[in-house]
């Protein structure tokens, strides 16, 4: 199976000393899965919407099960000059466009954004997370909600504050990966990637 | 620092149960380096030459040191219908085009191809490795040669044979990463990414 992950710096795993991020950690030990991590720092949903298709196509293989996972939101909610970089309506429009178009190519899954260290950004992000969840439900795209568990757990936020204010370390990424990989939606999403040869 | 790695399945780390590949392992523990792994399975130097620029541009940041590393060759030498997918002249033309154009954007480095399990492919690859080394020298691009050490070591090839005939596991990728990360060219190439905050 080939798994393509589109998103922002949190998908890229920025700040992870092990260079895995939550995506790499969520497929740990699963050798039959080839991971293409297409997270890019600073990108909003609008930026990802612009490039995802051109980057997905050379990575698609006719003779292999394909999966596309998306995760974004933090940069949409990040304030520039007092206002968030994108309004919620625009974030949702971008999300709908990407999820609908990608679902034509292969099964897709949406992972909600993790909380941010900044309380104002995080409050906006919590609202976006709820709206993304409703959108995914409407589109019948599986959704994994990590916001509240990571907020309650605290390690993600503590590590982000200790580093650069935005990105956790190995511990925070591992907590998020644990939430994702234990979720039934992730398990069925990646089932065809089970390594049958070992 | 942002490090972008372009190449084939061996750059992507296909078959690595830890989802790091040699690139991820070569920057282990270096948290200030954001790694963008742009390896794509089955791609020849011609395929990489087609996409590298479009994928590099959204990952470039004006205010961060950037580095681009290339590594390819196995798919060029892979036979289809009795002939290799690309002749050596074409591989070298693609390599020259990519290295020259990328060097305008930021410092670049070329890592030679690792050996393949198939003796015929590996013999061709050894020739390409030597030609790439000469090309890099002419272009004043640092080159890291891993072919002979990995051939002599044997673990890379043994793991590849035990898996799918082409891709090693954690051990082989780690050996290649050790060769790369211990090389003076890699150390100076990634020097600006030294983590000064920990």
What percent of chain A clears pLDDT 70, i.e. is strictly above it? 97
Instruction: Look at residue B193 and tell me whether its pLDDT is greater than 90.
Output: no
Residue of A14, A19, A45, A63 to mutate when probing chain B, most B C-beta within 10 A? A19
What are the boundaries of each domain within chain A? 8-191
Instruction: Show residues of chain B in contact with A45, CB under 8 Å.
Output: none
Query: Average of pLDDT values for B35-53?
Result: 98
Q: What does B3-60 look like in DSSP terms, one character per residue?
A: EEEEESHHHHTTT-TTS-HHHHHHTTT-TTPEEEEEE-TT--HHHHHHHHHHHHGGG-
Query: Average of pLDDT values for A49-64?
Result: 97
What percent of chain B clears pLDDT 70, i.e. is strictly above it? 97
On average, the pLDDT of chain B sits at: 96
Contact A14 B34 (CB under 8 A): yes
Query: Average of pLDDT values for A151-175?
Result: 96
Q: Which residue of A has its CA nearest to B16?
A: A31
Contact B2 A41 (CB under 8 A): yes
ipTM of the complex: 0.96
Instruction: Look at residue B8 and tell me whether its pLDDT is greater than 90.
Output: yes
Residue of B17, B19, B168, B181 to mutate when probing chain A, most A C-beta within 10 A? B19
Query: Average of pLDDT values for B89-97?
Result: 98
B8-191 CATH pick, 3.40.50.1110, 2.60.40.10, 3.40.1190.20, 3.50.50.60: 3.40.50.1110
Contact A58 B47 (CB under 8 A): yes
For residue A31, give the nearest of B2, B15, B51 by CB distance. Answer: B15
On average, the pLDDT of chain A sits at: 96
Q: Could you read off the pLDDT of A79-107 as tens digits, one per residue?
A: 999 899 999 999 999 999 999 999 999 99
Instruction: Look at residue B45 and tell me whether its pLDDT is greater than 70.
Output: yes
Instruction: Look at residue B198 and tell me whether its pLDDT is greater than 50.
Output: no
Instruction: Please state the separation of Cα A79 from the chain's center in Å.
Output: 20
For residue A24, give the nearest of B19, B36, B197 by CB distance. Answer: B19
Return the closest-CA partner of residue A85 out of A44, A127, A118: A44
Q: Could you read off the pLDDT of B98-157 as tens digits, one per residue?
A: 999 999 999 999 999 999 999 999 999 999 999 999 999 999 999 999 999 999 999 999
**What is the Cα–Cα distance from A72 to B155, expressed in whole angstroms?**
39
Contact B51 A58 (CB under 8 A): yes
pLDDT at residue A198, rounded to an integer: 40
Spell B96-114 as b/e; 16+ CB within 10 A means b: bebbeebeeebbbbbbbbb
Q: What is the pTM of this model?
A: 0.96
Residue of B34, B36, B66 to mutate when probing chain A, most A C-beta within 10 A? B34
Residue B192's pLDDT band, with cuts at 50, 70 and 90, is confident
pLDDT at residue A197, rounded to an integer: 44
Distance of residue B160 Cα from the nearest chain A Cα, in angstroms: 13
Instruction: Show residues of chain B in contact with A15, CB under 8 Å.
Output: 31
pLDDT at residue A193, rounded to an integer: 59
Query: Average of pLDDT values for A106-134?
Result: 97
């Amino acid at each position: 199976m080939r798994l393509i992950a589109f998103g922002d710096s949190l998908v890229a795993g920025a700040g992870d000393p092990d260079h895995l991020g939550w995506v790499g950690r969520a497929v740990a030990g699963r050798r039959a899965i080839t991971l293409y991590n297409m997270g890019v720092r600073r990108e909003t949903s609008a930026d990802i919407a612009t490039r995802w298709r051109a980057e997905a196509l050379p990575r698609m293989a006719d003779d292999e099960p394909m999966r596309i996972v998306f995760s974004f939101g933090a940069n949409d909610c990040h304030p520039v000059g007092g206002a968030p970089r994108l309004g919620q309506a625009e974030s949702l429009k971008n999300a709908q466009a990407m999820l609908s178009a990608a679902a034509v190519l292969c099964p897709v899954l949406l992972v909600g954004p993790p909380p941010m260290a900044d309380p104002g950004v995080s409050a906006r992000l919590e609202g976006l997370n709820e709206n993304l969840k409703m959108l995914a439900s409407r589109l019948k795209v599986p959704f994994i909600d990590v916001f509240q568990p990571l907020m309650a757990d605290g390690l993600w936020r503590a590590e982000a504050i200790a580093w650069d204010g935005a990105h956790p370390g190995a511990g925070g990424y591992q907590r998020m990966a644990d939430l994702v990989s234990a979720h039934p939606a992730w398990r069925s999403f990646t089932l065809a990637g089970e390594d049958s040869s070992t």
